[in-house]
Amino acid sequence: MKPFSFKSLPALLMLAVLLSGCSGEAEKVAEKPAPVHFESGDECHVCGMSVTRFPGPKGEVITEKEQTVHKFCSTRDMFAWALQPENIRRKHTLYVHDMSQTEWASPDDAALIDARDAFFVVGSEREGAMGQTLASFSEESAAHDFMVEHGGEVLRYEAITLEHLNTEMPAGDMHGDMSS
């Protein structure tokens, strides 16, 4: 029995709180890194294609620990990377274009939004750099309108799986037999 350990632990915790408060580190960790603009020379982290030369919403990831910026030619390739087992549980910051604010042919970076808060239309007829892609929106109503016009299904970030990325299923058949 060591009574000292019970007394010293709260004191240590208090000290740690005071120290982190002084340096401002606690606030920095909670702050989300801002999106980085896409440049003409950027290559997709997954497929190597030019990011800005193709239509459709693009993706960007700022990694949790190293704060490394990865850019993706399409939301499709961003998910292909983010859904890998080594990335799926990490608290990376992810940005995608809000397609209700910008043009499909050449999305404007002023329209980048947090992918975890976005609504995605999966399986629509509109294509990005890699063919079928995910149309991203900040508002559910805008995603729904896009789905009505171009087909597919509206999903939240957490509902998207690797199976959604390679589907060429016709609109309205997203819940069809996956085993065929």
Q: Assess 50 for contact with Cu ion (CB under 5 A).
A: no
- Residue 84 CB: number of other CB atoms within 10 A? 12
Region binding Zn ion by CB under 5 A among candidate stretches 10-18, 29-37, 69-77, 85-93: 69-77
Binding mask 8-47 for Cu ion (x = CB under 5 A): ---------------------------------------x
Region binding Zn ion by CB under 5 A among candidate stretches 27-35, 76-84, 95-103, 167-175: 76-84
d(CA 88, CA 92): 9
Query: In whole angstroms, what separates CA 129 from the centre of its chain?
Result: 17
Taking CB within 5 to 8 Å according to partner kind, which of Cu ion, Zn ion, none is near residue 46? Answer: Zn ion
Asked whether 81 and 45 are in contact (CB, 8 A), the reply is yes
d(CA 129, CA 51): 8
CB of 97 to Zn ion, least distance (A): 15
Q: Assess 82 for contact with Zn ion (CB under 5 A).
A: no
Among all residues, whose Cβ is closest to Zn ion? 44
> Which residue lies nearer to Cu ion by CB, 73 or 80?
73
β-partners of residue 57 are: none
State how far the alpha carbon of 6 is from the alpha carbons of 2, 13, 16, 18, 133, in Å: 8, 12, 16, 20, 56
Q: Assess 80 for contact with Zn ion (CB under 5 A).
A: no
d(CA 144, CA 141): 5
Q: Assess 130 for contact with Cu ion (CB under 5 A).
A: yes
Choosing from 35, 44, 134, 157, the residue that interacts with Zn ion (CB under 5 A) is 44
| Residues binding Cu ion (CB under 5 A) | 47, 49, 73, 130
